[in-house]
Amino acid sequence: MRSREEMLQAVNYDESKVPQYVIPSPLQKADGSTVRDAAEWVNFQRPRILELFRREVYGASLPRPDSCSFQLLSCKSDAYMGLATRKEIRLRFEMADGKTHSAEMLLYLPNQATAPVPVFLGLCFKGNHVTSSEKDVRITGQNYPGNQDLGEDKRGLQAERWQFPEVLKRGYAAATLCYHDFFPDHVDGWQRSALSLFYAQPDSPEVRAKHTAIGVWAWGLSRALDCLEAEPGIDARRVAVHGHSRLGKTALWAGAQDPRFRLVISNDSGCCGAALSKRYFGENLEVIVNVFPHWFVTSFAQYARREAELPFDQNFLISLQAPRAVCIASASEDLWADPRGEFLSGAYAGEVYRLFGADSYSPTQMPAPGGRLSGLVSYHLRAGKHDQTGEDWQHYLELADRFLK
Ligand code: GCU
CB of residue 387 inside a 6 A radius of ligand 1: no
Rounded to whole angstroms, how far apart are CA atoms 267 and 384? 13
Whether 194 is in a domain gets the answer yes
Q: Which strand (E) or helix (H) includes residue 244?
A: strand 234-244
Whether 330 is in a domain gets the answer yes
pLDDT in tens, 62-113: 999 999 999 999 999 999 999 999 999 999 999 999 999 999 999 999 999 9
CB of residue 338 inside a 6 A radius of ligand 1: no
Residue 248 Cα to ligand 1 midpoint, Å, equals: 10
pLDDT of residue 35: 98
Rounded to whole angstroms, how far apart are CA atoms 137 and 345? 38
Residue 337 Cα to ligand 1 midpoint, Å, equals: 8
CATH number of domain containing 343: 3.40.50.1820
CB of residue 118 inside a 6 A radius of ligand 1: no
- Is 386 tagged catalytic? yes
Residue 27 Cα to ligand 1 midpoint, Å, equals: 30
CA angle 379, 385, 391 (to 5 degrees): 50
Domain limits at 178?
A: 46-403
Interhelix angle 46-53/246-257, rounded to 10 degrees, is 140
Residue spans of alpha helices (H) in 203-300: 205-210, 213-229, 246-257, 285-291
CA 10 to the chain's CA centroid: 27
Say if CB 289 and CB 301 are below 8 A apart: yes
Residue type, 253: W
CB of residue 288 inside a 6 A radius of ligand 1: yes
Residue 47 Cα to ligand 1 midpoint, Å, equals: 28
Torsion of CA 191, 218, 123, 69, to 10 degrees: -70
Rounded to whole angstroms, how far apart are CA atoms 47 and 229? 25
Please tell me the pTM assigned to this model. Answer: 0.98
- Is 245 tagged catalytic? yes
Name the catalytic one among 61, 193, 245, 266: 245
Rounded to whole angstroms, how far apart are CA atoms 47 and 6? 38
Closest residue to atom 7 of ligand 1, CA basis: 336
Q: Which atom of ligand 1 is nearest to the CA of 271?
A: 9
CB of residue 342 inside a 6 A radius of ligand 1: no
Say if CB 64 and CB 89 are below 8 A apart: no
Whether 35 is in a domain gets the answer no
CB of residue 246 inside a 6 A radius of ligand 1: yes
Whether 36 is in a domain gets the answer no
CB of residue 271 inside a 6 A radius of ligand 1: yes
Say if CB 393 and CB 166 are below 8 A apart: yes
DSSP 16: G
Helix, strand, coil shares of the chain as percentages rounded to 5? 40, 20, 40
Say if CB 61 and CB 51 are below 8 A apart: no
pLDDT of residue 149: 66
Q: Which atom of ligand 1 is nearest to the CA of 291?
A: 8
pLDDT in tens, 184-215: 999 999 999 999 999 999 999 999 999 999 99
Whether 9 is in a domain gets the answer no
Whether 3 is in a domain gets the answer no
Q: Is the bond preceding residue 323 a cis peptide, omega within 30 degrees?
A: yes
Domain total for the chain?
Answer: 1
pLDDT averaged per 10 residues in sequence order, the chain, 405 residues: 93 98 97 98 98 98 98 98 98 98 98 98 97 97 76 93 98 98 96 98 98 99 98 98 99 98 98 98 98 98 97 98 98 98 98 97 98 97 98 98 96
Interstrand relation of 100-110 and 67-78 (parallel, antiparallel or unpaired): unpaired
Whether 11 is in a domain gets the answer no
Residue 369 Cα to ligand 1 midpoint, Å, equals: 21
CB of residue 360 inside a 6 A radius of ligand 1: no
pLDDT of residue 148: 62
pLDDT of residue 93: 98
